[in-house]
Amino acid sequence: MDFRDISEVGTDYSATSVLQRFVAALGFRYYWATHEIDDDDLHARAAGDCMSIQELIDHIDGLVHMSAESLKCDLSENTEPRRKTLENLSTLYEQCETISDLADFAIRGNPLFYMMNGPLSDALTHVGQINMIRRLDGNPVAKVNYFKGQAPE
């Protein structure tokens, strides 16, 4: 899945399609938060004791990895963190299409709901931190339409 633009929406509101859209929203926001990021940005921090953008990217990668692994996805072997995370999100998105019963899946022995309010929501929080740090560092994210999931014109 290409997370550059997710503005096209379906009409299926099943549990799996809602989970799939949640993953797409994370992918979209992550794509743009890390798009055209430069080396100086990677070392930027909001404060001395906060994670740098690179540390946040690595942490998000781990959260997405955990989520993809819990749904038995084939994990990316890419070594570049941004690309690997986007590939794992894409695989997670595609895997959601094949799930007939969400109750069949667990994350570390816990209900799948914990994946949504745990690692996936945590990843969304950290994507927001990347956006904030980039703005503070003078390299803000492109003006995308987050409401519609639409790329800049």
Give per-residue pLDDT as tens, 36-71: 998 889 999 999 999 999 999 999 999 999 999 888
Is residue 148 in some structural domain? Answer: no
State the average pLDDT for the chain.
92
pLDDT value for 94: 94
- What residues form DSSP beta bridges with 107? 110
The 10s digit of each residue's pLDDT in 70-88 is 888 899 998 899 999 999 9
Domain CATH code at residue 126: 1.20.120
Q: Give domain status of residue 105, yes or no.
A: yes
The reply to whether 128 falls in a domain is yes
Distances (CA, A) of 22 to 16, 92, 93: 10, 11, 9
Residue 73 DSSP code: P
21 part of a folded domain: yes
Find the mean pLDDT for residues 14-34: 95
**What is the total count of domains within the chain?**
1
93 is a domain residue: yes
Q: Residue 71 has what pLDDT? A: 83
Burial 101-140 (b: 16+ CB within 10 A, else e): ebeeeebeeeebeebbebbbebbbebbebbbebbeebeee
Confidence of residue 135 (pLDDT cuts 50, 70, 90): very high
pLDDT in tens, 99-131: 877 777 777 778 888 888 999 999 999 999 999
Cα dist. 125→8, 29, 132 in Å? Answer: 24, 10, 11
User: Does some domain include residue 141?
Assistant: no
Q: Which letter does DSSP use for residue 117 in this model?
A: I
Boundaries of domain holding 23: 15-136
| Domain annotation covers residue 9 | no
Which residue reads 């980039």 in tokens?
134
| 149 domain residue, yes or no | no
How many Å is the maximal CA-CA distance in the chain?
46
Give the pTM: 0.94
Is the CB of residue 127 less than 8 Å from the CB of residue 30? Answer: yes
Q: Quick check: helix, strand or coil at residue 55?
A: helix
Q: Is the model's pLDDT at 142 over the cut of 90?
A: yes
41 forms beta bridges with: none
| Residue corresponding to tokens 């955990």 | 66
pLDDT class of 15 with cuts at 50, 70, 90:
confident
Structure tokens at 12: 């299926």
